[in-house]
Amino acid sequence: MRERERMLDKLVKCGKTLQELSATDETIRGEIRLLDHRVRDSIREVHLQLELRQRLSLRKASILADRKKIATQLSQTREQISQTKKRLWE
């Protein structure tokens, strides 16, 4: 009879331990899910920043090309004005 009580006590103790471990496991799983969401959000943010930088870089290159084209046109216009002045004064 005493042996049976000890076995039941051990069984109850094991049951309590399993409950504690299960609760701890669920807590850890919740923390892991939270961290997973944070990591995914961070990765998404990094990708958005890289995309934005790429767009800005392309925009900057486009602006520089436009500036170069305008500078060339301005130089040609100045040259034409200069030639016209020379013809007028001849």
SS (H, E, C) 47-64: HHHHHHHHHHHHHHHHHH
* Tens digit of each residue's pLDDT (9 = 90 or more) over 40-57: 999 999 999 999 999 999
Q: Which residue has the higher pLDDT, 68 or 88?
A: 68
Per-residue pLDDT, 5:
86
Average of pLDDT values for 47-71? 95
Say how far residue 72 (Cα) sits from the centre of its chain: 40
Tokens 């990591």, residue?
39
Give me the percent of the chain exceeding a pLDDT of 90: 66
Query: Would you say residue 84 has pLDDT above 80?
Result: yes
Instruction: Report pTM.
Output: 0.57
Q: How many residues does the chain have?
A: 90
Average of pLDDT values for 19-28? 90
